[in-house]
Amino acid sequence: EIVMTQSPATLSVSPGERATLSCRASQSVSSNLAWYQQRPGQAPRLLIYGTSTRATGIPARFSGSGSGTEFTLTISSLQSEDFAVYYCQQYNNWPPASFGQGTKLEIK
């Protein structure tokens, strides 16, 4: 089973600034990497798949990059609604299509 490790566990950033979240896979997942956002009390929302393809309706301030074992989610200018927990998920070698443990993005 592929283990996904996200860092940092918590990231404190001011509104309007850039946030960079990291995700590392225990072995190569090619470009088969997705990102989700989960706000408190809500279901997760797909942001990005295929490492860098934004899902329908996702603002352009969200971008993804990387390949192999190292991936990054960047939020270019943080809005109030962006403060949430973010999960990466690999779907190259499954089942299971494993999730990372999450990064909590909080207001600085």
Q: For binding to other proteins (CB under 8 A), which residues are involved?
A: 1, 32, 34, 36, 38, 43-46, 49, 55-56, 87, 89, 91, 94-102
Task: State the minimum distance, in angstroms, from the CB of residue 41 to other proteins.
Answer: 9
User: Which are the contacts of 59, defined by CB distance < 8 A and separation ≥ 6?
Assistant: none
User: Which are the contacts of 54, defined by CB distance < 8 A and separation ≥ 6?
Assistant: 47, 48, 60, 62, 63
Cβ proximity to other proteins: between 13 and 97 the closer is: 97
DSSP state of 21: E
Structural contact between residues 97 and 4, judged by C-beta atoms closer than 8 angstroms: no
Task: State the minimum distance, in angstroms, from the CB of residue 47 to other proteins.
Answer: 10
Task: State the minimum distance, in angstroms, from the CB of residue 108 to other proteins.
Answer: 23
Cβ proximity to other proteins: between 32 and 69 the closer is: 32
User: Which residue carries 């991936």 as its tokens?
Assistant: 71
